[in-house]
Amino acid sequence: MAEGISKIVTSDAPRAIGPYSQAVEVKPHELVFVSGQIGIDPSTGELAGGTVGEQTRRSLENIVAILAASSRKFSVIKTTVYLTDMGMFGEMNEAYETFFTEPYPARVCVAVRDLPKGALVEIEAIALVEG
């Protein structure tokens, strides 16, 4: 994890029950706010599969690609996940977890009625960039 980022853990709030941190503190650095990404494969312009797991992986690959375009080192510190059905939470969480390690980014997940192009999941991120 980048210098200046520290995980905040307290027993005065519910512990993280998945691959995320309760909170992540950032000392003065540059932040990048990545707009919500649905699981569109940039080579086809179509959704990258019909499952929430496939679309989650592609959404996160899109976020990584956007951050990598800055040619700078980055650490995702916060995500917001939008799901069209909370019944898909477990499958989304399994795919999500493969992209991050401890300390996990802070995260919120909310259910929404619809997403663009009939997507099942959309993810936005805030990242710290260095250099």
Q: Give, in order, the Cα–Cα distances in Å from 71 to each of 34, 57, 60, 67, 130.
A: 15, 22, 18, 8, 10
Please name the amino acid found at residue 110: V
End-to-end CA distance of the chain: 14
How many Cβ atoms sit within 10 Å of the Cβ of residue 92?
24
Angle separating helix axes 89-97 and 52-68, nearest 10 degrees: 40
* Active site amino acids: 109
Strand residue runs (E) in 23-120: 23-26, 30-38, 40-41, 46-47, 73-83, 106-111
Tokens found for residue 58: 């592609």
